[in-house]
Amino acid sequence: MITKLQNPIAAAALGLVLSVGIGAALAWRAAAPLLQQLAVVARPKPVAPNKEKGWDFWTIEVENLSTDLKEERARLRKQADLQEQRAARLAAEEKELAKVRADIEVLRKSIGDKVVEITADESKNLRTLAQTYTNLSPRAAVAIIRELDDVTATKILSLMKPDVVGPIFEEMSRTMAPDGPLARRAAILSEKLRLMKANKPASSN
C-alpha cells in the first residue's frame, strides 16, 4: 500500500479523488438549504376558498360589500313584486270601475226611457199642441196621438187637464189597431205620465 502511495501517479489520482469528494460534500452542504427553500416554493399552494368567488383576497370590507349587495338585490326584487301586485290591483279596479260605469249608463238610459221631461225651448210649442188637442174630440185626438211616439204623446198629454185626458184614454181602449186595441198603448202612456208627474217637483227645484 505504501509502495503504491509512493507512486506519483497514484498519489495524484488519490488527491484528485479526495479533492472532488471534499468539494462535492462542501457543495451539497451549501446547496441543501437552497434546495429546501426551492422545494417549499415549488410545493403547490392550497386554493383559498374565497378564490372560488373570483377574488384573490377576501376581507371583512369585501364581505360587508357582498352582504350589502345581496340585501339591495333582495330589496329591489321585493319592490318589483310589490309594483307588479299594485299594477294588477289597479287593473282590476279599473276593470271594475268600467263595469260600474257601464251599469250606471244602462240604468241612466233605462230611467231616461221611462222618465219624460219637457225642456224650456219646447215648452211653448207643446202647450200650443196641447191646447189644440184639447179642442178636438177624443176620437180625433186618438187618431193623431196613435201616430206620435210615446215621448211626444206623453209630453202633450201632460199639459192637458185630467178631465180631457180621461176621455182620450177611454177612446183608445175602444179603438182597434193592426196589432190589437190601443188599450196597451194607453197603459204605457199612463205609466209615463205618472213618472213624469213624479219627476216634476225634482226638476223644478
pLDDT tens, position by position, 7-34? 666 666 666 666 766 766 666 666 666 6
pLDDT for 43: 58
Measured at the CA of 71, the angle between CA 67 and CA 74, to 5 degrees, comes to 140
- 111 has a pLDDT exceeding 60: no
Residue 205: what pLDDT?
A: 40
Confidence band of 59 (pLDDT split at 50, 70, 90) = confident
- What pLDDT shows up at residue 139? 92
Predicted structure pTM score: 0.42
pLDDT at position 140 is: 92
- Look at 13 and 45; give whichever has higher pLDDT: 13
Give the residue with greater pLDDT, 30 vs 187. 187
